[in-house]
Structure 1
Amino acid sequence: MCGRYALGIRASFVRYQLQQQNMQVDNAPNDDEARETYNFPPGAYGLVYRAEVPDNGLSDDGQGNTENDTTNEGAYDGAEAQETQEEPSSHKKAGFNGKYELKTMKWGLIPFWTKRSPDYGSMMRTINCRDDSLIENRGMWNTMKQRKRCIVVAQGFYEWLKKGPGGKEKIPHFVKRKDGQLMCFAGLWDCVKYEDAQDKLYTYTIITTDSNKQLTFLHDRMPVILDPNTDAMRLWMDPTTTKWSNELQNILKPFQGELECYPVHKDVGKVGNNSPDFIIPVDSKDNKKNIANFFGNAKKNNAKVEELRETIDHDSSENHAPLPIPAQNENLKRKAGVEDEGHIDKAMKLEFDPDTKPQTQASSSPAKPITPAKPTGARKTRSATSNAGSTKKPSSIKTEGNQRITGFFGKGDAPG
């Protein structure tokens, strides 16, 4: 099953990437027409690569159909439709010489015969189409597989690994091509117009197959991934090939190339979440949600703050550090009109340096330094190295600090 994938890039860039791989892209939607998200859910509008053909595909002679194909109308009455296998056409196909486009479509295929919009549960049953359901020329997919084949573009897809008792713990994994190229999922598309609607609705499904050896630990199914500019891709995308064949069926097989698969953050489990971190390994240094990066970034931020501090060399001891400015003299700083506190210290030296004041105390005992009166609320400063021999100095008031099909599409609604 493929129930979630990533497409967090613009339509214009997808067009460019496909063209770089020699894929013809004549038209593409504007960037704002397709949903750009790393957590692409069913029901959203994604980018589908297809041949520009009528809404009913090309007829057996390679021309556009002029009437609706009623092959499958009224097919679902609780069992799959029984269809008559058509004889192979003798018409020799010369290939398709028309245009190819990227088109915005809704994920969750709704057959053209549907009369009213299905509920979300019914639509979820058609987000994927099993490859083994296409072997026989019957069932709801019969028209689409012959005339409406496409490619669904993605960066990769998600799958949840079940662990623990009863598989209650689910760990999301992201799968992408190792070569970094876009993933091209084999898909089918259709166009429907509800009886009460004016506009047409284009929808698509992603075809799945057995998982390759690399992904069997994760899930038993995986999307069919095609390589661009290959014979398989050209055959799949040729709308003039309107008969299902073994050659087409054989295209639907597990991917033979190299893939990368790794756990990602659990936040991808919620459809509303979207982050480029969802396609990055959860333990990667590039993942911002990695807990190790949280502390690493904190250290970096602290380092940046420290780098802003200016270091001044001096020979003085801590006992000779500049005196703090008392609060009552803040007005003197404003009068000075400078922001260098060193200048302020000089401006107030005469008033606060005890060495500049006259010693008027007379005594017969040895002279002692005169200690100025302590300002109200002042605290005694101490040496960082010793408590002995410290000279009492006036201190200031504290300054401020830093801061997941059957008949569910209109079973009784199809016309006779």
Structure 2
Amino acid sequence: MCGRFALTATAEELIELFGLLEAEDFPARYNIAPTQPIIVVTASDRAKPGSNLPERKAMLVRWGFTPGWARDPRKFPLLINARSESAVGKAAFRAAMRHRRILVPASGFYEWHRPAKGTGEASQAYWVRPKRGGVVAFAGLMETWSSADGSEVDTAAVLTTGANRAVRHIHDRMPVVILPEDFARWLDCKTQEPREIADLMRPAPDDYFEAIAVSDRVNKVANTGPEIQEEVVPAKSPETAGRKRAEDRNGDDRQMSLF
């Protein structure tokens, strides 16, 4: 899943990567949490000057998807993620999958390894970022919810898929990453139906991300500075723990064979 992420790129970097005509300046954000405003990229109805491709624009939406048919968002579950494998079949996401696909710019995301109960191990937070740096584009869905008094709220969710090798030892899910060469296909909701972009909803290449252990300061939404991304040495990493258990089992087997 994706429950926290960061965006520390400049407006100029987003304009260049996403082909935006413009983007307002915004502060670096190191700990973006659900219900907060996030920047998303959408395709507009107008064509770019001198091109047949639609203009792309950046806008702020609330992270927490609310279907248009929901009567009261306060009583509706907070949908920050949508499973890519089943989103088109879900009533909440079906229309958005066909008509309102978006890109969510990020510098990376946070994930937690939560050991099974009874192991005595503490949860460990990880900062998962592109190995080569830069901005990554998560696949997202958008919906505008309208109240009875006519007010509107733009909302969004991040699509997830099965984790790749770099993330699998931490969590079994990760955000869907859309590569730059696929931006146009993903955002084209007029000619590209969900079945035609299904191939884009796959795990990122195994060498795309790296996972950095960080402290539990990221757990608190109030902590918003760059220090939450400082690397720490985990007390016991998932990989190390797994190797240690395997070594212990092998050792026990050898001892039993001797006696």
2:4 match? 4
Residue 112 of structure 1 and its aligned partner are, at CA, apart by: 1.6
Instruction: Establish whether residue 233 from structure 1 lines up as the match of residue 183 from structure 2.
Output: yes
Label 1:272 to 1:166 Cα distance change in 2 as closer, same or farther (>3 A): farther
Residues of 2 paired with 1:195 and 1:250: CA distance?
39
Secondary structure of the residue aligned to 2:174 is strand
Q: Distance in 2 between matches of 1:152 and 1:253?
A: 16
Residue 219 of structure 2 aligns to which amino acid in structure 1? G
1:260-286 CA distance string (max 9 Å, x none): 101111111111111202223125xxx
Q: Which of these two proteins has the greater Rg computed from alpha carbons?
A: 1
Matched, 1:187 2:140: yes
CA contact (8 A) 1:161 1:172 kept: yes
Q: Could you tell me which of 34, 53, 60 is aligned with 1:104?
A: 60
Asked whether the equivalents of residues 117 and 194 of structure 1 are also in contact (C-alpha less than 8 Å), the reply is no
Identify unmatched segments of 5+ residues in structure 1: 55-94, 284-416
Give the conservation status (yes or no) of the 8 Å contact 1:51–1:100: yes
Q: How does 1:67-86 map to 2 (within 5 A)?
A: none
Aligned to 1:72: none
1:217 pairs, out of 152, 155, 169, with 169
Once the 2 structures are TM-superposed, how far is the Cα of residue 258 of structure 1 from its aligned partner? 2.1
1:6 is matched by which residue type in structure 2?
Answer: A
Alignment of 1:374-389 (within 5 A): none
1:146 maps to which residue? 98
What is the CA-CA distance between 1:114 and the residue it aligns to? 2.4
1:242 deviation in Å?
5.3
The CA distance in 1 between the partners of 2:117 and 2:126, in whole Å, is: 19
2:77 is the counterpart of 1:122 = yes
* Compared CA separation, residues 282 and 240, structure 1 to 2 (3 A): same
TM-score using structure 2 length: 0.80
Identity %: 27
> Do the aligned residues in 2 keep the contact of 1:52 with 1:100 (CA within 8 Å)?
yes
1:253 aligns with 2:248: no
Q: Choose which of 211, 219, 244 in structure 2 pairs with 1:269.
A: 219
Deviations 1:288-334 (A, max 9, x none): xxxxxxxxxxxxxxxxxxxxxxxxxxxxxxxxxxxxxxxxxxxxxxx
2:105 and 2:37 map into 1 onto residues whose CA distance is 12
Kept after mapping to 1: 8 A contact 2:144/2:152: yes
Displacement, 1:165?
Answer: 4.7
* Equivalent in the alignment of 1:299: none
| 1:1-400 equivalence runs, <5 A | 1-9=1-9, 13=10, 15-21=11-17, 23-31=18-26, 36-53=28-45, 97-119=53-75, 122-123=77-78, 126-134=79-87, 136=89, 139-163=91-115, 165-166=117-118, 169-196=122-149, 198-228=150-180, 230=181, 232-241=182-191, 243-245=193-195, 247-256=196-205, 257-282=207-232
User: What residue identity is the alignment partner of 1:24?
Assistant: G
**RMSD over aligned Cα atoms:** 2.3
Q: 3-state DSSP class of the match of 1:18?
A: helix
- Report how many aligned residue pairs link the two structures: 227
1:192–1:96 Cα change, 3 Å: farther
Q: Deviations over 1:136-189 (max 9, x none)?
A: 4x5221110111000111111011112375366111100000110111100000
Shift of 1:24: 1.5
Moved over 4 A (4+): none
Conserved in 1, the CA contact under 8 Å of 2:67 and 2:144?
Answer: yes
C-alpha contact 2:12 2:23 (8 A) present in aligned 1:
no
Cα displacement string for residues 10-64 of structure 1 (whole angstroms, at most 9, x for unaligned residues): xxx1x3213333x3202434537xxx4211100000100111249xxxxxxxxxx
- Cα gap change, 1:165 to 1:115, in 2 (>3 Å): closer
Residues 164 and 133 of structure 1, relative CA distance in 2, 3 Å threshold? closer
Distance change >3 Å, CA 269–CA 181, structure 1 → 2: same
- Please, what TM-score do these two structures have when normalized by structure 1? 0.51
* Pair 1:166–1:270, CA change in 2 (3 A): farther
Aligned to 2:239: none
Once residues 117 and 28 of structure 1 are traced to their aligned partners in structure 2, the CA distance between those partners, rounded to angstroms, is 29
1:228-263 per-residue CA deviation (whole Å, 9 max, x = no partner) reads 2x1x22200113225322x31111000014211011
Change (3 A) 1:242 1:214: closer
CA contact (8 A) 2:88 2:97 kept: no
Structure-2 separation of matches of 1:17 and 1:182: 8
Q: Distance in 1 between matches of 2:116 and 2:158?
A: 30
Tell me which amino acid in the other structure corresponds to 2:19: Q
Tell me the distance in 2 between the aligned counterparts of 1:134 and 1:122. 16
- Equivalent residue of 1:28, what SS? coil
Which residue identity lines up with residue 171 of structure 1 in the other structure?
Q
Change in Cα spacing, 1:135 to 1:240, as seen in structure 2 (3 Å) is closer
For 1:96 and 1:141, locate their aligned partners in 2 and report how far apart those are by CA, in whole Å.
29
